[in-house]
């Protein structure tokens, strides 16, 4: 039913940049808070960034503040994560999440791999 399709992952050198995208379909994207999470091997899934449904408020994990920027284009049903000055510790599988608190709807996309290595 609901689809969240990520793209943009890959291999990048330390200090480099990547831009992740998550394209949504089959639900009312503009009513959902969108987030990015990541999970490294042997680690629990962790929060990375969040943006409210109209794009007016954002939150970031301390580990990515000043380096990552989350944004959304409701006309395109897409959320983005611009990742700059990447570090090896950013290596993980990155997941897109859609959440709506009014009825507790919660959807996860499949992951896209980000590897930061020299």
CA dihedral 9, 11, 14, 15 (to 10 degrees): -50
Q: CA 64 to CA 84: how far, in whole Å?
A: 9
Q: What is the pLDDT of residues 108-117, one digit of tens each?
A: 999 999 999 9
- pLDDT of 10 higher than 90: yes
Q: What is the pLDDT of residues 83-110, one digit of tens each?
A: 999 999 999 999 999 999 999 999 999 9
Q: What is the pLDDT of residues 64-80, one digit of tens each?
A: 999 999 999 999 999 99
Q: CA 113 to CA 28: how far, in whole Å?
A: 26
Kind of pairing, strands 10-12 and 112-116?
A: parallel
Mean of pLDDT values over 39-43: 95
pLDDT at 56: 85
SS3 8: coil
């Amino acid at each position: 039913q609901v689809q969240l399709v990520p793209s943009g992952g890959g291999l990048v050198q330390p200090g480099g940049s990547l831009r992740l995208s998550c394209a949504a379909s089959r639900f009312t994207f503009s009513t959902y808070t969108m987030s990015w999470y990541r999970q490294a091997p042997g680690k629990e899934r962790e929060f990375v960034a969040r943006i409210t449904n109209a794009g007016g408020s954002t939150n970031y994990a301390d580990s990515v503040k000043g380096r990552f920027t989350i944004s959304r284009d409701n006309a395109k049903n897409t959320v983005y994560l611009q990742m700059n000055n990447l570090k090896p510790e950013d290596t993980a599988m990155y997941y897109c999440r859609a959440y709506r608190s009014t009825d507790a709807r919660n959807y996860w996309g499949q992951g896209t791999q980000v590897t930061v290595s020299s």
